[in-house]
Amino acid sequence: MMEMFIVAVIVLWSALVAFKKVFPRTANRSFNALAARCAQQGWHKLAKWLRPAAAGGCGGSCGCDSNAEAPKKAEIGTVKWK
């Protein structure tokens, strides 16, 4: 019985992660609506946990400097054997 519960939790979690990756806009809308409903019921901690994180970076016409350079990665040199 416990094994079935663990497998069910893992399958549901995997389906949720896949849903978020395949349908990001729909997932954000769904989680925002669910968080608003929880906040309306007075469950503020759950609403805060469910609310998706704000998108980072420049989405266009936000006034941020889009010409800022990304930090450069150190080049990895080749290994020379003697």
Residues 6+ apart with CB under 8 A from 35: 46, 47, 48, 50, 51
Note the pLDDT tens digit of each residue in 8-17.
Answer: 999 999 999 9
Kindly state whether residue 23 falls inside one of the protein's structural domains: yes
Task: Let me know if residue 55 belongs to a domain.
Answer: no
Whether residue 26 is contained in a domain is answered as yes
Q: Is 11 domain-assigned?
A: yes
Is there a domain that residue 20 lies in?
yes
pLDDT (tens digit, 9 = 90+) per residue, 38-55? 999 999 998 998 888 876
Does residue 38 lie within any of the structural domains?
A: yes
Instruction: Tell me if 76 is assigned to some domain.
Output: no
Domain that holds residue 6: 2-50
CB 35 within 8 A of CB 51: yes
pLDDT confidence band for 62 (50 / 70 / 90): low
Does residue 75 contact residue 54 with C-beta atoms inside 8 Å? no
Query: Could you give the C-alpha distances from 43 to 4, 27, 40, 47, 49, in angstroms and in order?
Result: 30, 20, 7, 6, 10
Number of domains in the chain: 1
| Residue 63 is assigned to a structural domain of this protein | no
- pLDDT of 67 reads 58
Is the pTM higher than 0.75? The answer reads no
